[in-house]
Chains A and B, each alone.
Chain A
């Protein structure tokens, strides 16, 4: 089925651990985004990618790493998780910058 899939849906990890959140889309959209959502802050942009091998920082990139070796995948890695990174993470994709975004179901990450 066409769509955008995030995994895992839920993740609990310990402070200092490395965690990777996966995002896969089947539309061959050029643009992909990672957002985090916390109460009172709405969706804050972490990183985005305009095409394979092109990534750029958003509003809150510190502590995160991304890669995009293939158009359909855009993993987000927390190199050394901190409690402040406890959040709901959404991946989204769009055909063009001015296209509406399609969102995955989100990953709820808890760092203990």
Chain B
């Protein structure tokens, strides 16, 4: 079992819809969770970080964390074609003292 798992997709949504991206992790000691966006041929860039259970909102983005279920998600409201990218979930764990990434979910927003 991989330490961080994401649905590989691809995920396609129409413009204006809500895109929902999911991630699960195996290390119960994980404390910090991140979502990165990566455009084709570019390096990953941070969208959201979340450290405690519940929701965290930033503009059109909402990150949700449930440590009991070892689950973190990202919702993108009012999706735009410019949101088309690969979204990477990352988890840091004091047990491993490192930062691991999921395989990424490719999102396409169709005009």
A interface, CB within 8 angstroms of B: 31, 33, 35, 40-45, 48, 50, 56, 58-59, 90, 92, 94, 97-101, 103-106
Contacts and interface: CB of A to CB of B under 8 A. Distances in A.
Interface of B: 6, 8, 31-32, 34, 42-46, 49, 51, 88, 90, 92, 94, 97-104
Nearest to B47: A100
B8 A50 contact: no
B43 A106 contact: yes
Given A42-B88, A98-B92, A33 B103 contact: no
B37 to A, nearest CB: 12
B101 A97 contact: no
Interface of B (DSSP majority class): strand
A98 B100 CA distance: 12
Contacts of B97: 48, 50, 56, 97
A42 B6 CA distance: 10
Contacts of A98: 31-32, 51, 92
A92 B6 CA distance: 21
A42 B104 contact: yes
B88 A43 contact: yes
26 contacts: A33-B99, A35-B101, A40-B103, A41-B103, A42-B88, A43-B90, A45-B99, A45-B100, A48-B97, A48-B98, A50-B97, A58-B98, A59-B100, A97-B32, A97-B94, A97-B98, A97-B99, A98-B32, A98-B51, A100-B34, A100-B46, A101-B44, A101-B46, A103-B43, A105-B43, A106-B43
Nearest to A98: B32
A39 to B, nearest CB: 10
Contact of B101 (A43, A48, A50, A105): A43
Query: Counting chain A CB atoms within 10 Å of each CB, which of B8, B43, B90, B103 scores highest?
Result: B43
B49 A100 contact: yes
Given A42-B101, A42-B103, A44-B101, 8 more contacts: A33-B98, A56-B97, A97-B94, A97-B98, A100-B34, A100-B46, A101-B44, A101-B90
